[in-house]
A and B are shown apart, each in its own frame.
Chain A
Amino acid sequence: MNPGDQLTTRLKQLAALLLVVLTVFGLFAPSAHADDLQVKVRVQNQVKNESTGKTTKEPVPGVKVEVLDAAGGVVGDGVTDAKGVAEIPVPTKADYTVKVDESTLPEGLALEDGNERSIKGDAFLTASVTVNFFTGSAGRATVGWWSQLAQRIADGARFGLILAMCAVGLSLIFGTTGLTNFAHGEMVTFGAMMAYIINTDRGITPWIAFPAAILLGGLFGLAQNEFIYSPLRRRKIGLVSQMVVTVGVAIVLKNVFLRILGGRTKAFGAFNNQSCTKVGPICITPRDFTTSIISLVILVGVALALQRTRLGKATRAVSDNPELASSTGIDSQKIIRLVWIIGGMLAATGGIFRGLDEGVSPFMGSDLLFLMFAGITLGGLGSAYGALAGSFVIGMFVEVSTLGIPILPGESWPAPFNWFHDGVPSELKNVPAYLAMIVVLLVRPQGILGRRERVG
């Protein structure tokens, strides 16, 4: 068979596989979200915990809200329920204004940022748009700066470990095949989604559901290699074209996940609503503590395996020099297959842990993708240890940078210039990480742990 025919056969297999996957996992299953367009209004009261410095949000029931159309006419109204949510149906995807009747707020609570929000018609990505209102109770307690720092470092380490677990696969795949996989975030989402479906939807215990999801993640990685990238390599499609293909794959997968999961973030049924235990200045839930330890064990295991085992050494050899490796009898295709499986499993694990932390959404993986890139660039593209270290540092950096250093000047400086005093606003916390990546490329393009190689 010539390569073209082989590819056609492969693609038929791929199409069949895709159909099976879609059928099984719900593209054809009843949609998770409601048919009718609606505006969800959520009113929450922010309470700052004195010891942790973390803000928790509590629902505010019994508040009257109304939705007005562009002309100012009332389209619908409602009262928030026990969850602090009022669902108000709307006829079309149009621009609306949401208004809270402040007189119905409980005594002592005031809205933080006005009593009106406007919604654009294009905001209706799904049938429902959520609008949040926050009230803040007066007189927030402050926590010592050092305790806050300790807490951020703990959170940062936890996030860094998860990020590193997601990024190792990306780095290994890059190292062995040269491919920058823009669909790696979707491997993370896939793991979390499968765990959610098996555990929370189908009600199977997490002790079975999570390992099953991780195994499926490995299979998912293998399938991508076998049905997409391996044929492309055989066909000698250039790396840049392959990179564009990964972009297409990412778009397809993200939307398949969106169809299955719906647009809203979902919480796992398991290990939910834990209260945190105080360890010194740090407050950590048993769940987060356990996932951190597991992440650490897995990452050390991966590092040791790369260092000690025959397959690990072979993997590093292929990363260093594929031609040399294959001339010494290493089956590089086998190594690449292995790397996709391991990468898929690690990404799935990272996805599950992230999902336990932040909930499962179709976009959770792609939101992490650039941080993974920043991590592996920082550590040195293609170096697995670099990816581990770099991602850990980036994860830490993202969390800790939101804490300002109050002894530095800038308290009353205007918004863009006060970050070193007040910390990076959390909505922008990824920006410094991206900029750090660019600075690293300027100063030391091979990354912190990478070797100098001939460039340009």
Chain B
Amino acid sequence: MNWSNIITATLSAFFGVNAMYFAISALGLNVQFGYAGLLNFGQAGFMACGAYAVGMTAHYFGISFWWGIPLAVLYAVLFGLVMGVPTLRLRADYLAIVTIALAECVRLVARSVTFKKYFGGSDGINQFSGPFVDLSPWNPSAKYSLNPFAASTNLVGAILLLISYTVCSVLLGSLIADKWTYHQNVARRTKWVLSSVVTFVVILVLVSQTEYDGLSFKSLVVGWVLAAVIAALVFMLMRSPWGRVIKGIREDEDAVRSLGKNVYSYKMQALILGGVIATFSGIMFSVSRGSVQPDNYSRDVTFYVLTALVLGGLAKVSGSIVGPMLFWGILQFVDVFLNELTKSWGGEVRIFGLPLITSSSDIGVLVQIVIGLMLVFLMVFRPQGMFGNRKEMAIDGH
């Protein structure tokens, strides 16, 4: 069994393109579901809005895909209105049903032969991110690491990476210092500095194992910076009076309404804001591949984002970043581990003489089962996520 292969793959997935675009999408879903309590099952539809907006500007309108960004925001706002207007006055499950059905409509229309002229059918739209590729100081065919001291990284990238690792370390360090309750005689500041330094070193060790091609690498740098900016904005919003109203609505919308807040309007704002954030996730994903395919925006994608979010913890900004990293880390680990296991066991995994894995496609199915089980067990036993505090959850909701 090739353990270094397993570790490298897992760590690459940890910071990889999938985790990046899931993190942005999860930030949006967190605004909707985590903070406002709106069960949006159509996140994939919002993501498709972004992906197709950039794809279509290049493919159909024939202009640079950069124009797709404002178009994507427009799509997301309209999509949110169509979802919200019929449902936000009704019970929560109506929203879930309508959002999932509308997202499915988007996918069906996008992959249809009827609309192939606009959306490219089931093949989607390909090779449109030329301007993004050209922008690159990184060579698409070379391999890069997120390790800032690696020879392949250039100076700009190295500085950006170092800054973001420092910020992450300081933030995480603060969290760890808060949980560090023993050693009462040590000052909190000391704990903070110590935790930050340790976190920084751990991050460097982890990322030095990673490896990405030039285009992915650039998408990662841009995408994670974008995720960080959005996370900061969401964090500030949720500490503002606006966030207070939103959180109040999640707990009891009648109480908030009786205090003179237009609950319908706030719900709509949260739905659309989360959708616009998700649209950037779609943009980043499609740009990182230079292509958009309708089946990358199926309902399962929404469910995976939801699982990743619940894994990280609802109603926490850090949850929407850490959750997707863990989610893809775990998936990649399971996937590569089972592959290596199958290889080393001679192409078949048998338990008690019964075949569990007989072909590579079985592994994909098992990974999906792991996702489903993860969602069920998290929702039942740890709705506060892997790192959430039990205290808040223990409070009686009534």
A residues adjacent to B (C-beta < 8 A)? 7, 23, 27-31, 33-35, 118, 120, 122, 124-127, 174, 180, 182, 228, 232, 235, 237-241, 243-245, 247-256, 258-259, 263, 370, 373-374, 377, 381, 415-416, 425, 427-428, 430-431, 434-435, 437-438, 441-442, 445, 455-456
Contact call B91/A28, Cβ cutoff below 8 A: no
Given contacts A120-B123, A430-B108, A442-B86, A248 and B307 within 8 Å (CB-CB): yes
Smallest beta-carbon distance B396→chain A, Å: 9
Give the bracket for the number of chain B residues in contact with chain A.
35 or more
Closest residue of chain A to B354 (Cβ to Cβ) is A28
Given A180-B96, A431-B105, A33 and B361 touching (CB < 8 A)? Answer: yes
Quick check: A373 and B355 within 8 Å, CB to CB?
no
Give residues of chain B (108-126) contacting chain A, Cβ–Cβ below 8 Å: 108-109, 112-115, 117, 123
Please give me the 10 A-B residue pairs with the lowest Cβ-Cβ distance, nearest first.
A251-B372, A248-B375, A252-B372, A28-B354, A248-B376, A441-B86, A456-B89, A255-B368, A434-B101, A180-B93
Q: How far is the CA of A425 from the CA of B114 in the complex (A)?
A: 7
A105 to B374, CA, bound (A): 51
> Does B150 belong to the interface (CB within 8 Å)?
no
Identify B376's interface contact among A245, A374, A438, CB under 8 A. Answer: A245
| Contact of A370 with B100 at beta-carbon distance under 8 Å, contacts A240-B39, A247-B375, A441-B90 already known | yes
* A251-B96 in contact (CB<8A): no
Contacts of A235 in B (CB 8 A): 380
Residues of B within 8 A of A435 (CB): 105
Find the B residue at minimum CB distance from A252. Answer: B372
Contacts of A122 in B (CB 8 A): 293, 295-296
* Given A255-B369, A427-B114: A127 in contact with B379 (beta carbons within 8 A): no
CB interface residues, B 280-297, toward A, < 8 Å:
293, 295-296
CB neighbours (8 Å) of B86 from chain A are: 438, 441-442, 445
Task: Please report the C-alpha to C-alpha distance between residue A443 and residue B86 in the assembled complex, in whole angstroms.
Answer: 9
A374 CA to B86 CA, complexed, in Å: 14
Number of CB contacts from chain A to chain B under 8 A: 168
Instruction: Name A's interface SS.
Output: helix
Please determine whether A31 and B109 come into contact, CB atoms closer than 8 angstroms: no
B82, B96, B355, B379 interface centre (most CB from chain A within 10 Å): B379
Q: Which residues of A contact B41 (CB under 8 A)?
A: 247
Give 28 CB contacts A-B under 8 Å: A28-B354, A28-B355, A29-B355, A31-B359, A34-B359, A35-B347, A35-B358, A174-B93, A182-B96, A241-B379, A243-B96, A247-B375, A248-B376, A248-B379, A251-B371, A253-B372, A255-B365, A255-B366, A259-B366, A370-B104, A373-B97, A381-B93, A381-B94, A415-B114, A416-B115, A431-B108, A441-B87, A456-B89
Closest Cβ of chain B to A439, distance in Å, is 8
Asked if residues B376 and A415 are in contact (CB atoms below 8 Å), the reply is no
**B360 touches A (CB below 8 Å):** yes
The answer to whether B380 touches A237, judged by C-beta atoms less than 8 angstroms apart, is yes
| Complex alpha-carbon distance, A254 and B351, angstroms | 22
Report Cα–Cα, A180/B352, bound state, in Å. 39
Q: Is the CB of B375 within 8 A of A244?
A: yes
Q: Chain B residues near A258 (CB, 8 Å)?
A: 365, 368
A438, B102: Cβ atoms closer than 8 Å: yes
Across the interface, do B97 and A180 meet the contact criterion of CB distance under 8 Å?
Answer: yes
B157 at interface, CB cutoff 8 A: no
Supposing A244-B379, A259-B365 touch, asked if A427 and B108 sit within 8 A by C-beta, the answer is yes
* A445→B95 CA distance, assembly (Å): 12
On whether the beta carbons of A30 and B115 are closer than 8 Å, the reply is no
Residues of the B chain whose Cβ atoms lie less than 8 Å from the Cβ of A29:
354-355
List residues of chain B with CB within 8 A of the CB of A415: 114-115, 117
Residues of chain B contacted by A23 (CB below 8 angstroms): 354
